[in-house]
């Protein structure tokens, strides 16, 4: 019997694995997708080859790309940008690690406390979680982002808005700032030359401004895996969990098995309750494998976790498994400039606006095909032709909706004369936004497939208010920065930031997890990814909060089931770029 | 482009046969439709990518919206997009609202062509094999307006599929899909999408570092 089996090697699972492997526990991580062990040889950074959501390397599907993706039932205009495989969706995240507003947590008494989703706060205070943020920020590590041309243009607009320049981490009010990013800062030749021959490690260290965050980070070339610039978990927590014996006294390396799709959580009666005792996973040859473990941790994501729970027949007495999905009600506002903006170069996003209680706005760097995707994705019809009854306005933009034909081609005439603003809304938990099992698409070899329902046009008044406010601020910023024209998309649901489908909460009537991250009705079963979050993290990019909560959950597991003491308050974290990690990564070919 | 294209590629026959074992009732109360003949797929997809990204090709000329620079057809986006939908919809779509019993790109083409004929009956007469490809630009917009109408396919995966069409067509047209050799992991030509967006292509890094805003490279709590 293993000590811990973790389902999923994305943004959250490797955090628990790393922390408990460092304590010497026997940890097994099962990942349904690909290993991505040699990115310099395997990845092209080309957009279709990498990002095509159906056929690309980064998709929700098997590692064998000639096979079809794993099907999901989306009964509305929507899209998903999740990834199966080691690193999960952090493979294309931008490393943005803002701390969330304290108003998203229990016990907040600030003057703006009514501005948040007060019915669904985290079941502990921000101050209680704060040490875990600090722990993760040093582990990844998180640092203040550098500036490229596109950031200089963005900052120009932000300055003219009259906002405060924030030079601290905790949110105190509306402000603009450089992102706090889990991306190693540029050193040596990185960011200072176009010459690929001079961008090899160690001459170049940290971010080379290549512009391919969304295609996975392999820069600088020749760098050990844990010294790649972006701290997606494949470059940070996964190398740490696999080398825990090398950098943690008493540590024990975790084991990772990929192409291992968990199809069932095993459980047994425990008195009047139910307890998890392991999992069953399926390999591509069709063989089912059973793993027994003292504790099971679900970290397969907001869509897969509820599916696995329901397919396993685990209890769901309040019917909240899969409910309360939040996805930041994202939107996209674009400015077209007469000047060079460097839009396709640099890190994914290095600057942002924050409006606590509303959410945030950040700049985004994308190559042309993804820009085209973003330009042609909307719930508001085709720009200039019909609005599909969307009921939203341009909020200061010149035009609204999908761009097609000459309009699209003109807008994308020079990708480096755009500046894009991603609206990240603090959206409310709504029970009708949920993951269930499809009655329409046939089951696949892993069981009934998930159905993801988002009632895009039935958001709460606060959610709608927040998004319209942020779209207006985006248009304002772009104009003040000098945009010749501004276009708003009104995106349909784009499942890029997804949270809270297995939410923890104060109230047992509307949550799946208690305040420790353990399932309310199944002992020894924890959830440790974005789905465990109580709400939309106040509109902050969710990964850092997920990793902080997962670190706290790891402590709770260690304390409750292994008789150990917590460590975050008493120890100093080891950085994922620590030389002991590097040497072990090199020695083990990781 | 082909005015009289081969309507029954072998791979689609195989796909249809293989998928027929799992017919899918996609809408409420709809019975399995009769197996339909395969629609003209290539022209429908070229008509679609010309709509999103016009160029100087015959499909763009036909729709009455052209461009002096290459568009989606020259980019080879039509065939590449077909492959995507064959992967995305491995099951036949049957039942309301379209009663097709077709999978993949064939289903997409059939839907576009069905609605195209509703919008402009003369579109069935050519010159292209696909009615959608014979529409004017404004009539193509009308096809999408009708397909997007709330209520048409709400609650079914068809709703999702329909709304992906312009989005994925635009994505593919600006990507390298048609000029990438997966066997060698190399490009066979500069993608059209890169040229028409002035994109400099994949790089290991750029001389773009402009320092830290106001010199701040580390902030306290």
Contact residues, chain A, for B166 at CB < 8 Å: 376, 382, 402, 404
Please report which confidence band the pLDDT of residue A80 belongs to, taking 50, 70 and 90 as the band edges. confident
Q: How far is CA A433 from CA A76, A144, A300, A452, B26, in A?
A: 12, 35, 19, 8, 21
**What does the pLDDT profile of chain B (221 residues) look like in tens digits?**
333 333 222 223 222 322 332 333 333 222 233 334 678 999 999 999 999 999 999 999 999 999 999 999 999 999 999 999 998 888 887 766 787 888 899 999 999 999 999 999 999 998 999 999 999 999 999 999 999 988 888 888 888 889 999 999 999 999 999 999 988 989 999 999 999 999 999 999 999 999 999 999 999 98
Q: What is the pLDDT of residue B92?
A: 85
Q: What is the sign, positive or negative, of the torsion defined by CA atoms of A15, A573, A126, A93?
A: negative
Phi, then psi, of A290 in degrees rounded to 5: -110, 135
Q: How confident is the model over A141-150, as a mean pLDDT?
A: 98
Q: Is B175 touching A (CB cutoff 8 A)? A: yes
Q: Is B136 touching A (CB cutoff 8 A)? A: no
Contact residues, chain A, for B202 at CB < 8 Å: 44-46, 212
Q: How confident is the model over A123-150, as a mean pLDDT?
A: 98
Start-to-end Cα distance in chain A: 26
Q: Is B21 touching A (CB cutoff 8 A)? A: no
Residue with tokens 């079941």: A123
| A75 vs B160, B198, B202: nearest CB | B160
Could you count the other beta carbons within 10 Å of the beta carbon of residue A38?
11
Residue A400: pLDDT over 90: yes
CA distance A531 to chain B (A): 23
Please report which confidence band the pLDDT of residue A66 belongs to, taking 50, 70 and 90 as the band edges. confident
pTM of the model: 0.94
Span A307-349, pLDDT tens digits = 999 999 999 999 999 999 999 999 999 999 999 999 999 999 9
| A413 vs B145, B169, B197: nearest CB | B197
Could you count the other beta carbons within 10 Å of the beta carbon of residue A435?
29
Structure token pair of residue B63: 């729709």
Average pLDDT, chain A: 97
Q: What is the pLDDT of residue B156?
A: 81
DSSP SS3 for A8:
coil
**Closest chain B residue to A130, measured at CA:** B221
Q: How far is CA B41 from CA B104, B148, B166, in A?
A: 10, 21, 16
DSSP SS3 for B161:
helix
Cα B165 to Cα B35: distance, rounded to the nearest angstrom: 23
Q: Is B215 touching A (CB cutoff 8 A)? A: no
pLDDT > 70: percent of chain A:
100
Q: What is the pLDDT of residue B173?
A: 98
Residue A271 near residue A250 (C-beta atoms within 8 A): no
Burial label, B4 (beta-carbon count in 10 A; 0-12, 13-18, 19+): exposed
| A77 vs B22, B160, B170: nearest CB | B160
Contact residues, chain A, for B211 at CB < 8 Å: 146-147
A326: β partners: A499
CA distance A73 to chain B (A): 6
CA distance A495 to chain B (A): 13
Residue A456: pLDDT over 80: yes
């Amino acid at each position: 019997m293993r000590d811990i089996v973790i389902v999923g090697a994305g943004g959250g699972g490797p955090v628990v694995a790393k922390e408990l492997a460092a304590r010497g526990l026997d940890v097994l991580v099962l990942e349904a997708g690909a290993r991505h062990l040699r990115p310099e040889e395997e990845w092209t950074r080309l957009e279709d080859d990498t990002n095509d959501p159906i056929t690309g390397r980064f998709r929700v599907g098997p590692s064998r790309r000639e096979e079809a993706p794993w099907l999901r039932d989306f009964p509305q205009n929507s899209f998903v940008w999740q990834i199966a495989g080691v690193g999960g969706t952090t493979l294309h995240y931008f490393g943005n690690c803002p701390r969330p507003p304290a108003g998203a947590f229990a016990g907040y008494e600030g003057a703006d406390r009514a501005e948040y989703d007060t019915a669904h706060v985290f079941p502990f205070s921000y101050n209680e979680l704060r040490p875990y943020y600090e722990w993760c920020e040093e582990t990844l590590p998180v640092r203040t982002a550098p500036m490229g041309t596109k950031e200089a243009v963005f900052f120009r607009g932000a300055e003219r808005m009259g906002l405060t320049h924030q030079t601290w981490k905790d949110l105190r009010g509306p402000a603009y700032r450089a992102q706090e990013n889990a991306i190693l800062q540029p050193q040596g030749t990185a960011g200072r030359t176009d010459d690929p021959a001079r961008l090899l490690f160690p001459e170049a260290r940290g971010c080379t401004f290549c512009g391919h965050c969304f295609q996975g980070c392999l820069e600088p070339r020749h760098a050990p895996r844990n010294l790649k610039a972006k701290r997606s978990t494949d470059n940070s927590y996964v190398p740490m969990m696999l080398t825990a014996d090398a950098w943690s006294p008493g540590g024990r390396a975790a084991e990772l098995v990929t192409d291992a799709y968990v199809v069932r959580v095993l459980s047994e009666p425990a008195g009047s309750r139910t307890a998890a005792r392991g999992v069953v996973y399926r390999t591509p040859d069709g063989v089912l494998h059973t793993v027994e473990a003292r504790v099971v941790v679900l970290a397969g994501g907001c869509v897969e976790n509820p599916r696995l729970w329901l397919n396993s027949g685990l209890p769901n007495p309040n019917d909240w498994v899969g409910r309360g999905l939040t996805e930041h009600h994202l939107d996209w506002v674009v400015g077209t400039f007469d000047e060079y903006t460097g839009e396709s170069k640099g890190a994914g996003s290095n600057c942002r606006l924050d409006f606590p209680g509303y959410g945030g706005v950040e700049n985004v760097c994308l190559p042309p095909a993804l820009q085209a995707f973003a330009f042609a994705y909307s719930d508001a019809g085709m720009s200039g032709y019909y609005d599909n009854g969307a009921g939203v306005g341009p909020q200061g933009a010149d035009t609204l909706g999908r761009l097609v034909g000459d309009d699209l081609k003109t807008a994308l005439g020079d990708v480096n004369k755009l500046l894009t603003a991603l609206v990240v809304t603090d959206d409310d938990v709504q029970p009708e936004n949920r993951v269930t099992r499809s009655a329409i698409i046939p089951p696949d070899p892993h069981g009934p497939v998930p159905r993801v329902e988002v009632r895009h046009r039935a958001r709460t008044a606060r959610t709608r208010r927040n998004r319209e406010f942020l779209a207006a601020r985006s248009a304002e910023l772009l104009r003040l920065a000098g945009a010749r024209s501004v276009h708003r998309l009104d995106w349909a649901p784009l499942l890029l930031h997804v949270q809270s489908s297995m939410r923890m909460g104060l109230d047992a009537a509307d949550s799946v997890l208690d305040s420790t991250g353990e399932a309310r009705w199944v002992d020894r079963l924890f959830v440790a990814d974005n789905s465990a979050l109580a709400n939309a993290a106040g509109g902050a990019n969710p990964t850092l909060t997920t990793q902080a909560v997962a670190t706290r959950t790891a402590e709770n597991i260690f304390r409750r089931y292994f008789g150990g003491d917590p460590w975050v308050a008493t120890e100093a974290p080891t950085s994922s770029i620590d030389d002991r990690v590097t040497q072990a990564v090199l020695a083990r070919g990781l | 482009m082909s005015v009289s294209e081969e309507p029954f590629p072998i791979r689609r026959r195989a796909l249809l046969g293989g998928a027929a074992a799992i017919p899918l009732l996609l809408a409420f109360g709809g019975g399995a439709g009769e197996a339909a003949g395969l629609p003209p797929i290539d022209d429908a997809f070229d008509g679609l990518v010309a709509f999103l990204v016009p160029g100087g090709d015959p499909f763009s000329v036909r729709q009455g919206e052209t461009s002096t620079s290459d568009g989606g057809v020259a980019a080879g986006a039509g065939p590449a997009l077909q492959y995507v939908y064959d992967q995305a919809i491995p099951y036949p779509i049957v039942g309301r609202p379209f009663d097709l019993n077709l999978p993949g790109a064939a289903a997409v083409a059939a839907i576009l062509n069905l609605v195209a004929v509703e919008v402009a009956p003369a579109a069935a007469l050519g010159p292209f094999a696909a009615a959608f490809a014979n529409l004017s630009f404004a009539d193509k917009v009308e096809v999408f307006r009708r397909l997007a109408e709330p209520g048409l396919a709400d609650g079914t995966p068809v709703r999702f599929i329909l709304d992906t069409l312009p989005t994925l067509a635009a994505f593919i047209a600006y990507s390298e899909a048609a000029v990438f050799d997966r066997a060698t992991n190399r490009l066979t030509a500069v993608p059209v999408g890169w040229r028409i967006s002035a994109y400099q292509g994949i790089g290991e890094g750029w001389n773009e570092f402009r320092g830290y805003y106001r010199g701040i490279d580390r902030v306290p709590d």
